[in-house]
Chain A
C-alpha cells in the first residue's frame, strides 16, 4: 500500500508546486510598467514612445500650421521597415495619425495612397476625392543597429520620419532612437 501511495503524493505535490509557480494570464496596461521588455525586438512601449516623441516634436515645430487652410491635410506615404523583424509599420504610423488627428492640427486622407492604392477604396469609389493635393506627405524608415559584448546585447531602433510639403521639400524631419541593452527579456521597466 505504501509504495503506491508515495509516488501519488509526490506527483500531486509536484503538480501543485508547478501550478503555483506559473504566472496566470491577465490583462495589463499597454505600454505600462508591467510590459515585457525585450532586447532584440521592438516592443509595444517602444512604438508608443517613438510615436509620442515624434508627434511632440512635430507639434512643437509649428510645421503643420504653415498651411493656407488649417487643419493641414496629410497623406501617409510609405514607412519602410528596414529591421530584421517583421511587423506592420502601422503600429507606428497609426499612433502618429491618431495623435495628429486629436491635436486638431492635421487630418489624414484615406483616399490618396502610395501607387494609387487608397486605404479606403469604397470612399474613393464613391467619389470622395480631395479638391486639391494634400498639404503634406509623411514618409519614413525604421532601422536597427545591433551590437554585443559577451552575453550583453544592445539594440538601437531608429524611427526616421519626414514631412514633405507639396513643393517636394522636407519641411520637418524627426528621428527617435530607442536603445535597449541586456542579456534577456524582462518583465517591467
Chain B
C-alpha cells in the first residue's frame, strides 16, 4: 500500500512537472504532407550558422528561382527542431560570377523568432542581375 502510494505520488509529480514545463514552452504544430521531422538537413556550404544555433535551427532546404525581371531570388527553409522559441538574426551576402561580393556594406541583419517546431521560409532577392551566388548567415540573437 505504501509502495503504491509512493508510486502514485511520484507519477503525479512527474505529470505536474511535465505540465509546468509544457506550459512554459511555445510551440507550433504544423500540418504538412511531409512531416519536417522526416527531412534531412541539407548540407550546403553557402549556409553559415554561428555557435550552437545550428543544432537547434536546421536549414532543411534552399530554393532558387529568377524573378520576372531576371534577378535571382532565394528561399531558405528553416526549422526549429526544439520545443522552445529560438531567436536569431540572419542576412544574405551576394556574389557575382567571379566570386566577388556585391554591395558588401550595410547588409540588414533581419531578426527572426521561430516558435518551437515551426518551419519558415526566409527569402531574399539579389541586388542586381549579375549576382550568381549567395551566402546566408545565421547568428544567435543577443536579446
Contact = CB atoms under 8 A, between A and B. Distances in A.
Interface in A155-189: 182, 186, 188-189
Contacts of B89: 33, 189
A103 interface: yes
B109 A104 contact: no
Given A60-B73, A62-B69, A186-B143, A32 B109 contact: yes
Contact of B129 (A30, A51, A62, A104): A104
A49 interface: yes
A49 B110 contact: yes
A102 B128 contact: yes
Nearest to A29: B105
Q: Which of B73, B111, B123 has the most CB of A within 10 A?
A: B111
Q: Closest 3 A-B residue pairs measured CB to CB?
A: A62-B68, A49-B108, A65-B69
B22 interface: no
Interface string B66-108: 0111110100000000000000010000000000001101111
Interface residues of A, number: 30
A141 interface: no
A33 B103 contact: no
B124 A56 contact: yes
Contacts of B143: 182, 186, 188-189
Given A59-B69, A60-B73, A188-B142, A52 B108 contact: yes
A49 B124 CA distance: 12
A33 B129 contact: no
B125 interface: yes
Interface string A40-74: 00000100110111011101111011000000000
Contact of B127 (A32, A33, A48, A103): A103
Interface in B107-143: 107-111, 123-130, 139, 141-143
A105 interface: yes
Given A59-B67, A189-B142, A48 B108 contact: yes
A124 interface: no
Contact of B108 (A53, A57, A64, A186): A53
Contacts of A48: 106-108
A48 B107 CA distance: 7
B73 A99 contact: no
